[in-house]
Structure 1
Amino acid sequence: MTQRWLDEEQQRTWRAWLSVSELVPRVLDAQLQRDAGISHAAYVVLAMLSEAPHRSRRMSDLARRANQSQSRLSHTVARLEERGWVRRERSTDDGRGNVAVLTDAGWDVVRSLAPGHVAAVRDAVFAPLGPEQTRALGDALVAILERLDPDHVLRVEDAVD
């Protein structure tokens, strides 16, 4: 069987994707480190909690929504607990699982960071694109998601960054 390599356009697109997928998180991390001394991963946890009913989520659900392993999420939540922005509680539903709860101080942090974070996302991702390019990028990413996660198990479509 002959190996089929990426064609020139696919290679250009793939390499651009690799660079963008490395640089965007770095830019967002830098903005959040500068503004609050936290990582983008920690901000995503805060944001996912801020959007939840009662500002709380089961740890397993939060891990999926924040795209973190259970172990990494546990460390992230521990750091946020140290700052008083999150607390862990036993689930009132079944008493077995743990939930993470965004504290009032954590809510204040999210509200103060969100405008700068949105500006950083807009500048890094959308400023170089026109409306048609934005739509094409969104369509392309959704098509890739459909291929990688056809059952919608891994993605969170209602998450807002």
Structure 2
Amino acid sequence: MPTEADKFSWFQIPEDIKKLLILAAENWENTLESEKYMNQALAKTGENTDVLVAAYRYFFYKNNYTMALQTATKVIDRIREVECFPLEWEQLKPILASRKDDFRIRLYLNAYTASGLVLAKIGEIEKAKEISARVKEIDGKNEFGASILYDILTRPEED
């Protein structure tokens, strides 16, 4: 008999973590309860980027921007570590530009843009502009949403 977690077979994480994520979703209306399940999933998973992305989305839509930023940053840091990325943007930019179709690089750019969006939400406008401008340089097709974010953040007040 299929379990509730089998619905998400594409999500390659341990069943116990899958169940915690499902419980967080099922208890969405009760923030304290659902957040308890989400935090348990995060504690058990470590640095699994799939769970971190799910957690980012959860916290973003729950308007918990501090946790959303923390999880987006963990995704960025995890990929930076695995890929041995340089810390300086000018050295990193050509790597990202040349590999922007790779899954892990796309995830990095999405998480980086997401961190910019959250920074904008919490009032860190200059940091958000910097991040969105950086991704916009790489993203000729506006696949990561940075151009839209940058345009909103730099639009004259009268608009």
The alignment's TM-score, normalised by the length of structure 1, stands at 0.26
More strand by percentage: 1
More helix by percentage: 2
Q: Which has the higher contact order (CA 8 A, sep 6+)?
A: 1
